[in-house]
Structure 1
């Protein structure tokens, strides 16, 4: 029984530490996994640490016609060694590959957060320098809300009061109407 306790004790999971790392939305999944793991551990703890002993001599006496097959099975059964705690190399490579990918994702996320913090600081500095909203005039609206308000004196854009997205393709509109004449289409016949 000592082998079983040692086997289960070395593979136990620190559920408290795992629970700290998860967000609250995943607590139900953690409880489910914990119960499944507990069921598995209780089943493993009831099993003996070693494979059960088989009396092949008694089997050979009972079935003398199958002595050759029993000899082969005895050799295979005695050669069977199941090492505990060894993971095949292809699985460890797969886990390492996933870990590298996940670490790259974490670094990318941290970089995005750092960039977002820098942008947030710029916005906060911009609004800290802004006058009170009650003192805004037309120039302030164009400066602080360029998406909604525009100043055509210096901005190269079209008035778009309905939000049709005209300024997203401004270069196409500008190219088409650069001389204020509609460009002739080759598929239209000029007969009028």
Structure 2
């Protein structure tokens, strides 16, 4: 195995583990990336680890008229250093920012999951204490389905039998806050 192939082999991807973490909708994209990576690895494995050795002294003897050009090429060729695995600083900074953003998203997701679990436990506990549905009466409906059934004895709500949303906004209550029924002269208010 060539040196270049060894470098790529040490940094290879665990495709099985990556496939387990992705959702099924991304299977096509994963297979496409896997194919591109395989093509790249096969091309790299055919290359030598180091640049080929060039005998500039022999070239200068064969082409004495081009000695100045060959000296320039020799300096450029010897100054070539291709580092493997180094990421430019601007890309590294972008990767760090993206990693921080994703870590924050993961933490937020974990918090939402934890909140959802606590809410689900509350609902399960509530329904574990509930009587069988066959024994429900009007009081139970108001207790277990407060969004659909309400008890006007203690709730500050306006009756809304048609579900048009009278209790969702404060306009109705604000408009009729000081509403008083007109009194009739023949009625006595003694009770």
TM-score by length of 2: 0.82
Task: Please list every run of 5 or more consecutive structure 1 residues that lacks an aligned counterpart in the other structure.
Answer: 182-192
CA shift for structure 1 position 62: 4.4
Q: 1:177 — aligned with what?
A: 176
8 Å contact kept, 1:60–1:70: no
Q: 1:79 to 1:152 in 2, by over 3 A?
A: same
Partners of 1:56 and 1:70 within 8 A in 2: yes
Q: Is the 8 A contact 1:4 1:47 kept in 2?
A: yes
User: Within 5 A, what are the aligned runs for 1:146-157?
Assistant: 146-157=146-157
Structure 2 partner of 1:48: 48
Q: Which runs of 4+ in 1 moved over 6 A?
A: none
Which shows bigger deviation, 98-107 or 17-26?
17-26
> 1:38 offset after TM fit, Å?
0.3
Deviation for aligned residue 1:25: 2.9
Residues 127-160 of structure 1: per-residue CA shift (max 9 Å, x gap) = 1111111111111111111111111121112222
Residues paired across the two proteins, number: 179
What does 1:132-147 align with in structure 2 at a 5 Å threshold? 132-147=132-147
Deviation by residue 1:60-86 (Cα, 9 ceiling, x = unmatched): 85483x654443332122101001112
What corresponds to 1:122 in structure 2?
122
- Residue correspondence of structure 1 range 49-128 to structure 2 within 5 A: 49-54=49-54, 56=56, 58=59, 62=63, 64=65, 67-128=67-128
TM-superposed deviation, 1:37 = 0.4
Q: 1:162 to 1:56 in 2, by over 3 A?
A: farther
**Under a length normalisation based on structure 1, what TM-score does the superposition of the two structures give?**
0.81
Preserved contact between residue 4 and residue 49 of structure 2 (Cα < 8 Å): yes
SS of 2:168's equivalent in the other structure is: helix
Shift of 1:109: 1.0
Distance 1:131 1:53, change over 3 A: same
Q: Quick one: distance in 2 between partners of 1:114 and 1:81?
A: 51
**2 CA distance for matches of 1:6 and 1:96?**
27
Instruction: Give unpaired runs (5+ residues) of structure 2.
Output: 181-191
